[in-house]
Amino acid sequence: MKRITPPVPIPNDAEPGGPPRRSLWPTLARIAVAATLLGFLLTRTGVAPLAQVLGRTNPFLFLAAVGLFASGQMIGALRWWAITREAGFAVSRAACLRICWTGMFAGIAIPSTVGTDGVRTFLLGRQAPGRTLALSTVVFDRLIGLATLLLVALAALAADRADGLPVELRAAVTSLALLLSGTLAGLPLLLRWLPAESRLGRLAARHLRPFVTKPKLFAVTALASFCVHGLQIAAQKTLTEALDLDLPWGLVAIYHPLVVLAAAIPITPGGLGVREAAYAWLLGEAGVPIDDAVALSLLWWAVGVSVGLSGGLVWLSERRRRPAPDVGPD
């Protein structure tokens, strides 16, 4: 008798031969959170006063801030290129730059850094040694960037130029900076301590050893990170001047890392709403009117969107020409 194989049931949220459909509820929830935060801030500022503050923006200084931010992103792409090469990816500088710019375009709409890092992982992981190690390069790149960002804030706090900020906030920044820096410095010891034959030891050797056992890589990526953050702080300072706000460099160097950390929380698209609330609170503690703080946050968002949209042009050009992967030394 001929055996009949029963058909495989298809889930309700999937089409035959296609990927499962993703629920829209998480996205709608993030949009709702962003709208709630922005709506609350608008009730505190008023639309007309906020528009009046934004209307006095110096367009030339705004464009200068965009240029400074874009320059920092280029250096960040080169930092990641150095990490990918150490991990065994034969990818060129130009390819890393295109991938990073495409990731910035995705990061405009997708929550926090998830879109940017997801695109980087996916595009780099299409070539050997694969997507898993590609994710490791992105994570290490983020850790180096975050550690140096907190060290910049710690240095600004040590300069004692932010008397208006709460003591608890200072303590939190100091603790995070020391904790993350100490963790990165202790990773080589962790590799020595883990048994090489254990599963955890093999994973650590594969995903950590290419990065943490190379002092030169640490030095180069840390130096590049300080350059990136320096340019971003310069862009922030330029925006304060574009709004004719008299904020000292030290205060800018402190609130910028904290705003970046707040916006990285993946609860709204592109950190929208969370970033503005962080500006309003941090600068409010320093005596800055809420209208000016929210206007400054919107200008910083506009700077990121301006550079991110240029990543959309890179993505479109890549889709049109579909070249062979740009690999190998330059």
For residue range 245-296, list pLDDT tens digits in order: 888 888 888 888 888 887 777 777 777 788 888 888 888 877 888 888 989 9
The answer to whether 85 and 98 are in contact (CB under 8 A) is no
What whole-number distance in Å separates Cα of residue 74 and Cα of residue 267? 27
Q: Is residue 314 part of a domain?
A: no
Q: Is residue 214 part of a domain?
A: yes
Q: Which domain holds residue 293?
A: 51-73+142-307
pTM over 0.85: no
Q: Is residue 312 part of a domain?
A: no
Structure-block tokens of residue 111 = 């929550």
Q: Total structural domains in the chain?
A: 1
What whole-number distance in Å separates Cα of residue 253 and Cα of residue 70? 18
Helix (H) or strand (E) holding 199: helix 199-207
Q: Is residue 79 part of a domain?
A: no
For residue range 5-15, list pLDDT tens digits in order: 444 444 444 44
The angle formed by the CA atoms of residues 61, 67 and 71, to the nearest 5 degrees, is 145
Q: Is residue 39 part of a domain?
A: no
Q: Is residue 119 part of a domain?
A: no
What whole-number distance in Å separates Cα of residue 159 and Cα of residue 161? 6
User: Which pLDDT score, from 0 to 100, does residue 5 have?
Assistant: 47
Q: Which residues of the chain have pLDDT under 50?
A: 1-20, 324-330
Instruction: Please choose, from the candidates 329, 305, 321, 293, the residue with its C-alpha nearest in 3D space to the C-alpha of residue 49.
Output: 293
Of the chain, the end-to-end C-alpha distance in Å amounts to 65
Buried b (16+ CB within 10 A) or exposed e, 140-163: bbebbbbbbbbbbbbebbeeebbe
What whole-number distance in Å separates Cα of residue 248 and Cα of residue 227? 19
Cα–chain center distance at 12: 36
